[in-house]
Amino acid sequence: MPTTSRYARDVAVVAFAQSDHRRRSDELSEVEMVMPVLHQVLDRTGLKAGEIGFTCSGSSDYLAGRAFSFTMTLDGVGAWPPISESHVEMDGAWALYEAWVKIQTGEADTALVYSYGKSSPGSVRDVLTRQLDPYYLAPLWPDSVALAALQAQALIDAGETDEAGLAAIGARSRAAAGANPHAQLRGDAVAPGDYQVRPLRTGDCPPIGDGAAAVVLAAGDTARRLCARPAWITGIDHRIEAHGLGLRDLTDSPSTRIAAEHAGVFDAPVDTAELHAPFSSQEVVLRKALRLDGEGVAVNPSGGALAANPMMAAGLIRIGEAAARIHRGESDRAVAHATSGPCLQQNLVAVLEGEPA
Amino acid sequence: MTRTGKEPVAVVGIGQTKHVAARHDVSIAGLVREAAVRALADAELTWADIDAVVIGKAPDFFEGVMMPELYLADALGAVGKPMLRVHTAGSVGGSTALVASNLVAARVHRTVLTLAFEKQSESNAMWGLSLPVPFQQPLLAGAGGFFAPHVRAYMRRTGAPDAVGSLVAYKDRRNALKNPYAHLHEHDITLEKVQASPMLWDPIRYSETCPSSDGACAMVLTDRAGAARSQKPPAWVHGGAMRSEPTLFAGKDFVSPQAGKDCAADVYRQAGITDPRREIDAVEMYVPFSWYEPMWLENLGFAQEGEGWKLTEAGVTELDGDLPVNPSGGVLSTNPIGASGMIRFAEAALQVRGQAGEHQVQGARRAMGHAYGGGAQFFAMWLVGAEPPAS
């Protein structure tokens, strides 16, 4: 039993699967990309799609380039006979949140959560400008790297980091990804490189790629039956901030801090942190908000979003990677984080715990 | 500590915009805020009382804004709070309300603002739904092109006479005249005018299709304690469910999809309904093309298979009939796509609160809200009552 649960039901991540993340996957449709991941995650629990209590997915029409794109991916789930199912136009971490709420109501004991994104068919830097204020900001086409660079420069100006410090984060992430067979950039493949947008260099920016991920959630005894060491979600919360960058202190992430407080991150030490920080500078902000300054915390042992950043799945992967470390006995208490929007506008924080051996 | 049982959920605030073809006077943020402010005023609550925001809309392509909840966080008072964005195609307004309802039922939050919108004047819905994808069936020039063959199949299967579709449209457009928020107010509507309107996608005529609207709908959902503080009668959620099935497969029945039947059955089970035709007083169902009223009457269990059109023909579904369907004028009179499902849910709640004004069904105690989307594959429904649920 988790010791700190404050919810009606104890819910755990019992299985996680992800695709290999690649720069492009021209030969695969989204359905073809998602299906193997769905099969893998279900195989790990021995469950069939029809035995799952609730299914929820996350994706974006704008990446697919067509309206209602997720309707096709549902076909890959095998939703027949009909299933209890929903979808968020967000990162899969929020689909996991919706599924967790559903299990809390008692209407389901298990949930399948999946998300995916193919960035390769378009220019993701251009595409992401379309999520900005459509009247005042989007018409200027400020791209995601330029906005992240504003945040990075604000951090440097505030004395929170410098370019060498940022480069070290990128190098550490890619080195850690050497042990992650799914990562897109692994080992020492990425030098700091040239400036993309000052002060951010190639090594400070995430790779652009295609990928998918899936998680199975289960409650109480069902979780124990499906997994030798379930990763109990002892806390989960998410918060959003103002959209306008001029209204925010870009060197801080109050929404992450509020979510972390509600999720109970600070109640006890964590040994693992999987942070959705697509830019090296954002890891600096998140470490501060989550108070990850001490020894004994493995930050992004998977390589994080700097090694693989499939849009709409990278946040769910953070939860999956943290859970997988608990499944393997490599972690006892982990924090997982997902983000959405420009410069860390919206943030989700989950605490995952394994039972003592 | 384990608490068992769900928290009862109450609707204590409802707000809509006046739906029109084009709201040139407001931004998207202005549109959604208008509905939200009205819902808060109805609930006699302030922004500070709201613990979380759940927002829904149909595809982002309609306004050309990717994940607009990011930009709308400020307008909806969500800064510092949780904000979820739901998207389940045309059923999204209903699904959004159900996700918000679950937050309260699970006791994760006590009071939740939920809102759905569409500002269709920012684009063209027909072509927004017609982006071709290699190796996949296109949507055949908008939703009408997709659904017309299934209407034909219904007519052939049941022997329904040609006139049934126009009866539905004539009824809904007259009902809309009693609803101040409805988009189409056709004061000179006659059955003959509906029947003389141009054929768009045979057998669907111009006057048997929904308009493209700008509009938003919001609700405030709260727990038992919140309902006790409410100055006006709340609507209580007695059951809610979502069901999905694949878009295209050999065994799919497009006339009466299994997901719709299963979804309704789940809602009735939760609400203790055994005879929906007698136990439900009003239905707000998602009827974007008039023929879907008789089709859904069968799918939802209000009529035997093949008999739905007979209820329509006999006037059972009229505002003063035995089972009023779409007293608000329905989707046929108002269709801000992403909001349309939530409007169905909200209008059902208005009925059992006794606050539906001129289109009030007298004595309505239990009402159903229904939404569907995609290729008739996503379903969301709830049943609300004037009394709190028994358990």
Closest-CA distance of chain A to residue B55, Å = 10
Q: How far apart are CA B18 and CA B213, in angstroms?
A: 10
Cβ–Cβ gap A346/B108 under 8 Å? no
Q: What is the reported pLDDT for B375?
A: 87
Share of chain B above pLDDT 70, in %: 95
d(CA B54, CA B73): 11
Strand partners, A210: A22, A118
User: A134–B65: do the CB atoms touch at under 8 Å?
Assistant: yes
- Specify the pLDDT at position B146: 82
User: Which among A55, A81, A130 has CB closest to B258?
Assistant: A81
Q: Tell me the pairing of strands B282-284 and B235-244.
A: unpaired
Residues with Cβ within 8 Å of A318's Cβ and at least 6 positions away in sequence, in order, are A93, A274, A275, A276, A302, A304, A305, A336, A337, A338
Q: Which value does ipTM take for this structure?
A: 0.97
How much helix, strand and coil, in percent to the nearest 5, is found in chain B? Answer: 40, 20, 45
Domains of chain A as residue ranges with CATH:
11-122+209-227 (3.40.47.10), 124-206+235-352 (3.40.47.10)
Cα B92 to chain centroid, rounded: 9
Q: Which of A81, A102, A132 sits opposite B102 (nearest CB)?
A: A102
CA B259 – CA B287 distance, rounded (Å):
17
Span B267-279, pLDDT tens digits: 999 999 999 999 9
Distance from C-alpha of B292 to C-alpha of B314, rounded to nearest angstrom: 16
pLDDT in tens, chain A (357 residues): 455 568 999 999 999 999 999 999 999 999 999 999 999 999 999 999 999 999 999 999 999 888 888 988 998 899 999 999 999 999 999 999 999 999 999 999 999 999 999 999 999 999 999 999 999 999 999 999 999 999 999 999 999 999 999 999 999 999 999 999 999 999 876 788 999 999 999 999 999 999 999 999 999 999 999 999 999 999 999 999 999 999 999 999 999 999 999 999 999 999 999 999 999 999 999 999 999 987 899 999 999 999 999 999 999 999 999 999 999 999 999 999 999 999 999 999 999 999 987
Q: Does A237 touch chain B (CB under 8 A)?
A: yes
Omega before B233 within 30 of 0, i.e. cis: no
- pTM for the full predicted model: 0.97
A14, A69, A222, A276, B132 from A130: Cα distances, Å: 36, 17, 42, 21, 21
pLDDT confidence of B250, banded at 50, 70, 90? confident
Alpha helices in chain B (DSSP H): 28-43, 69-72, 92-105, 125-128, 142-158, 164-176, 191-196, 224-229, 258-271, 276-279, 292-299, 308-313, 330-333, 337-353
Instruction: Judge whether B77 and B47 are in contact, CB under 8 Å.
Output: yes
Hey, are the CB atoms on A66 and B131 less than 8 Å from each other? yes
Q: Any chain B CB within 8 A of the CB of A83?
A: yes
Residue B130 has pLDDT above 60, yes or no: yes
What gap in Å lies between CA B253 and CA A80, rounded to an integer?
12
CB < 8 Å to A7, chain B: 106, 108
Nearest CA in chain B to A2: B1
- What was the pLDDT predicted at B291? 98
CA-nearest of B260, B326, B242 to B287 is B326
Cβ-based neighbour number of residue A259 at 10 Å:
27
Place of tokens 């034909």: B152
Are the beta carbons of B244 and A83 separated by less than 8 Å?
yes
Kindly give the interhelix angle for B292-299 and B258-271, rounded to the nearest 10 degrees.
60
**What are the residues facing A195 on neighbouring strands?**
A201
For B85-99, write each residue's pLDDT tens digit.
Answer: 999 999 999 999 999
Task: Give the residue extent of every domain in chain B.
Answer: 9-124+210-385
Under an 8 A CB cutoff, do B81 and A98 touch? no
| DSSP-assigned states of every residue in B310-333 | HHHHTTTTSTTSSS-B-TT-HHHH
B62 against B48, higher pLDDT: B48
Q: Determine whether the interchain pair A237/B82 forms a contact, defined as Cβ–Cβ distance below 8 Å.
A: yes
Please tell me whether the peptide bond between B149 and the residue prior to it is cis, using omega within 30 degrees of 0: no
- CA A127 to CA A142: how far, in whole Å? 10
- Calculate how close chain A gets to B172, using CA atoms only, in Å: 28
Residue A249 sits at the chain B interface (C-beta within 8 Å): no
Tell me the CA distances in angstroms from A247 to A241, A243, B3, B304, one per residue in order: 9, 8, 41, 58
Percent of the residues in chain B that have a pLDDT greater than 90, as a whole number: 89
User: In CATH, what is the architecture of B9-124+210-385?
Assistant: 3-Layer(aba) Sandwich (3.40)
Q: Give every CB contact of residue A96 below 8 A, 6+ residues apart in sequence.
A: A56, A113, A215, A217, A316, A319
Beta-carbon count within 10 A of B47 CB: 15
Closest residue to A88, CB basis, from B3, B86, B103: B86
- Provide the CB-side half-sphere exposure for B340 (13 A, CA): 31
Residue B129 has pLDDT above 80, yes or no: no
Give pLDDT, residue A5. Answer: 64
Set of chain A residues whose Cβ sits within 8 Å of the Cβ of B59: 61, 67-68
Between chain A and chain B, how many beta carbons pairs sit less than 8 Å apart? Answer: 200
Residue B69 DSSP label: H
Rounded CA separation B36/B77 (Å): 9
* pLDDT at residue B133 greater than cutoff 70: no
A31: closest chain B residue by CA: B136
> For residue range B280-315, what is the model confidence (pLDDT) as tens digits?
999 999 999 999 999 999 999 999 999 999 999 999
* Chain B touched by A20 (CB under 8 Å): no
What angle, rounded to 10 degrees, do the helices at B292-299 and B142-158 form? Answer: 60
**For chain B, what is the mean pLDDT?**
94
